[in-house]
Amino acid sequence: MSGVEIRVGLSSCGVASGGEAVRDALVKAAGGRALVKAVGCNGMCHCEPIVQVLEAGRPVALYGKVTAESARAIVGRHTRWWERRRTDLPAVDSEPYLGKQKRIVLENCGEIDPGKIDEYLARGGYEALRKCAGMTPEAVVAVILESGLRGRGGAGFPTGRKWAAGRAQTAAVKYVICNGDEGDPGAFMDRLVLEADPHRVLEGLAIAAYAIGAATGILYIRAEYPLAVRNVREAIRQAEERGLFGSGLKLEVREGAGAFVCGEETALIHSLEGGRGMPRLRPPFPVERGLHGAPTLINNVETLACVPWIMRNGAAAFASLGTAGSKGTKVFALAGKIRRGGLIEVPMGITIREIVEEIGGGIQGGRKFKAVQMGGPSGGCIPEWLADTPVDYDEIPKTGAIMGSGGMVVLDERDCMVDMARFFLRFTQAESCGKCTFCRIGTKRMLEILERMCAGKGRRDDLATLEELVDFVSRGSLCGLGQTAPNPVATTLKYFRDEYEAHIHEKRCPAGRCTALVRYRVTDGCIGCTLCAQACPVGAIAYQPYKKHEIDDALCTRCDECRKVCQDDAVEVVSPC
């Protein structure tokens, strides 16, 4: 073995981009000359499948969008001296993306094979658990309290206080639950951590169990993440084989069944008890009376993933990162119209603009940055002019959005805010469990109004009704889902009122997104490259190279594909049509 190690990212994003074919090609090409290792995703999802090559004495070489062919070339370059000069490889400079990041939770993502416990152990894994075993549970809770760690699931409740409450319970049976029911559309950090570094979460959960004195730990994971479930099950098996949890702790995995509201603690407990996942009134908080009436500590995946690092490096190291109120780092899932999407981990206090423009590389196609949607259906849209807001549990809510679990969907000038609001309302409407009238019917009425606006049938009094409903629904609901459901509407109404008015009064969609209000046309900028004709799914554009293309309006479904593929911006959206 020449000491060359090739790592290929095989999380579900890597697999979806054809990572397995790349892995096979690498293994075949490498033969015995290099070690090929399947690791998790390193967060650079925009250039999956990713291949990293490590050689002694050389900087890590990173390649993105690798194909089976380029995989062979990569192996060649690093194992044969005469191919060293090759330049036809898809090398990626990771510095702009990774440079500003600080990795705690994602420390091992893309570095270790999640299926091999030894690799985790080699990087200091389970050291924190051993260290805790030598401390009293109270001391562990104190460290977490001191670190200032706050729940990464969305609300940002101080984790230490939750643990202290759990510790204070005197019941004989206690539970710890890892909440991996990551339902927020647009967030995928939990998936990635569970897939790429499952042991870190198990270690965090084991520490939590030790701290509050629980004997059972449950990992509740979305069924939409089959790889995460597989990896975690395997990780538990390996850790138990080594006896790392001692005899006092039993971990099990439960798959979700597809309900967003189960991300809410009390709903999650109902779901675990086998019933409908409906939230109940708090207090009593689950940490007092939870699963089967026993005190139950529920922490998010990311929160638990922070714990081992804190225990290993000390509360002060963690507290030195971030801002006064929000310590440490936060993982964000960058997606949407961003150039470099993926998973990033940044210290708290960094501004949204830094994230979007420096780490994310700005908007695709050089278009204008319009807003960023944070917090999923419970969050809101932060407009470009507020992008200097620091990422912080206290600052973000001032804009009307929430930190949420860390989904950041970047929107550009082609995204309609009314449509965004409608999208989220449709989501919360469908996911509402139906317990509270305001959430069940109020969201329905709001959705109807938004649907009407998007169809060009908005009425003059619609905005007033909407504002009224925003208020009623948020006050009249029991759980976070209902209370925050109107947020997307409230923030877009606050910052992009002109767009709502254009929809209602002019029957016009300024972003050109609402299909009922737009028509597509080819401008004289067309160079006849046929890209649009190739992309049109309904054949509304005739294939005529070197001639100006025409769109058949009767066939056109306004799918926007032609405009997306056009390199010369020669397809325009006319609104009102």
The interface with another protein within residues 69-98 (CB under 8 A) comprises: 85-88
Token couple for 354: 């830094």
**Binding segment toward another protein, per CB under 8 A, in 22-30, 162-170, 187-195, 313-321:** 187-195
Number of residues that bind another protein (CB under 8 A): 86
Query: Under a CB-based contact definition with an 8 Å cutoff, are residues 175 and 295 in contact?
Result: yes
**If binding is defined by CB under 8 A, does position 48 make contact with another protein?**
yes
**If binding is defined by CB under 8 A, does position 33 make contact with another protein?**
no
Please identify which residue in 120, 163, 210, 260 interacts with another protein, judged by CB under 8 A.
Answer: 260
Identify which of residues 103 and 222 has a Cβ nearer to another protein in the complex.
222
**If binding is defined by CB under 8 A, does position 371 make contact with another protein?**
no
Gyration radius (Cα) of the chain, Å: 25
> What is the spatial distance between Cα 49 and Cα 30, in angstroms, rounded to a whole number?
17
Which of helix, strand or coil describes residue 550? coil
Please identify which residue in 185, 314, 361, 390 interacts with another protein, judged by CB under 8 A.
Answer: 185
Please identify which residue in 423, 455, 472, 572 interacts with another protein, judged by CB under 8 A.
Answer: 423
Q: How far is the CB of 531 from another protein (least distance, A)?
A: 5
Query: Under a CB-based contact definition with an 8 Å cutoff, are residues 20 and 88 in contact?
Result: no
Query: Under a CB-based contact definition with an 8 Å cutoff, are residues 144 and 159 in contact?
Result: yes
> What is the spatial distance between Cα 303 and Cα 200, in angstroms, rounded to a whole number?
11
> What is the spatial distance between Cα 262 and Cα 504, in angstroms, rounded to a whole number?
36
Token couple for 404: 């949420």
Q: How far is the CB of 337 from another protein (least distance, A)?
A: 7
Q: How far is the CB of 293 from another protein (least distance, A)?
A: 12
**Binding segment toward another protein, per CB under 8 A, in 32-40, 145-153, 177-185, 349-357:** 177-185
Q: How far is the CB of 258 from another protein (least distance, A)?
A: 4
Identify which of residues 16 and 168 has a Cβ nearer to another protein in the complex.
16
Please identify which residue in 125, 290, 376, 458 interacts with another protein, judged by CB under 8 A.
Answer: 376
Under 8 Å CB-to-CB from 37, ≥6 apart: which residues? 5, 6, 7, 8, 113
**If binding is defined by CB under 8 A, does position 351 make contact with another protein?**
no
Residues 224-253 that bind another protein (CB under 8 A): 224-226
What's phi and psi for 344, nearest 5 deg? -130, 155
Identify which of residues 161 and 521 has a Cβ nearer to another protein in the complex.
521
**Binding segment toward another protein, per CB under 8 A, in 1-9, 185-193, 440-448, 478-486:** 185-193
> What is the spatial distance between Cα 335 and Cα 77, in angstroms, rounded to a whole number?
32
Q: How far is the CB of 419 from another protein (least distance, A)?
A: 8
Task: Quickly tell me which residue has 């509304």 as its tokens.
Answer: 540
Q: In what order do the strands lie in the sheet with 329-336?
A: 342-347, 329-336, 407-412, 369-374, 380-383
CA-based nearest residue to 385, from 365, 374, 401, 399: 399
**If binding is defined by CB under 8 A, does position 264 make contact with another protein?**
no
Query: Under a CB-based contact definition with an 8 Å cutoff, are residues 569 and 510 in contact?
Result: no
**If binding is defined by CB under 8 A, does position 366 make contact with another protein?**
no
Q: How far is the CB of 202 from another protein (least distance, A)?
A: 20
> What is the spatial distance between Cα 372 and Cα 40, in angstroms, rounded to a whole number?
27
The alpha helices in 374-516, defined as continuous H runs, are 417-431, 437, 443-454, 462-475, 480-484, 487-495, 497-501
Residues 479-508 that bind another protein (CB under 8 A): none
Residues 115-144 that bind another protein (CB under 8 A): none
**Binding segment toward another protein, per CB under 8 A, in 11-19, 233-241, 280-288, 351-359:** 11-19
Residues 379-418 that bind another protein (CB under 8 A): 407, 409, 411, 415
Identify which of residues 76 and 137 has a Cβ nearer to another protein in the complex.
76
**Binding segment toward another protein, per CB under 8 A, in 207-215, 306-314, 332-340, 389-397:** 332-340
Please identify which residue in 4, 8, 10, 17 interacts with another protein, judged by CB under 8 A.
Answer: 17
Query: Under a CB-based contact definition with an 8 Å cutoff, are residues 327 and 374 in contact?
Result: no
> What is the spatial distance between Cα 539 and Cα 556, in angstroms, rounded to a whole number?
8
**If binding is defined by CB under 8 A, does position 440 make contact with another protein?**
no
CA distances from 69 to 14, 502, 531 (A): 16, 51, 25
Q: How far is the CB of 529 from another protein (least distance, A)?
A: 4
Please identify which residue in 22, 104, 334, 439 interacts with another protein, judged by CB under 8 A.
Answer: 334
Residues 518-577 that bind another protein (CB under 8 A): 524, 526-531, 533-538, 543, 545-548, 557, 559-561, 564-565, 567
Under 8 Å CB-to-CB from 302, ≥6 apart: which residues? 105, 152, 153, 189, 190, 193, 331, 405, 406
Q: How far is the CB of 537 from another protein (least distance, A)?
A: 3
**If binding is defined by CB under 8 A, does position 302 make contact with another protein?**
no
HSE-CB at 501 with a 13 A cutoff on CA atoms is: 5
Q: How far is the CB of 1 from another protein (least distance, A)?
A: 27
Q: How far is the CB of 525 from another protein (least distance, A)?
A: 9
Identify which of residues 129 and 261 has a Cβ nearer to another protein in the complex.
261
What's phi and psi for 181, nearest 5 deg? -90, 70
Q: How far is the CB of 115 from another protein (least distance, A)?
A: 17
> What is the spatial distance between Cα 80 and Cα 34, in angstroms, rounded to a whole number?
11
Side chain identity at residue 6, one-letter code: I
Side chain identity at residue 168, one-letter code: A
Please, which residues bridge with residue 520 across strands? Answer: 573
Q: How far is the CB of 513 from another protein (least distance, A)?
A: 9
Please identify which residue in 3, 99, 248, 258 interacts with another protein, judged by CB under 8 A.
Answer: 258
Q: How far is the CB of 377 from another protein (least distance, A)?
A: 8
> What is the spatial distance between Cα 257 and Cα 117, in angstroms, rounded to a whole number?
29
Identify which of residues 210 and 260 has a Cβ nearer to another protein in the complex.
260
**If binding is defined by CB under 8 A, does position 328 make contact with another protein?**
no
**If binding is defined by CB under 8 A, does position 431 make contact with another protein?**
yes
Q: Are strands 407-412 and 369-374 parallel, antiparallel or unpaired?
A: antiparallel
> What is the spatial distance between Cα 372 and Cα 384, in angstroms, rounded to a whole number?
7
Token couple for 496: 């992009």
Q: How far is the CB of 77 from another protein (least distance, A)?
A: 12
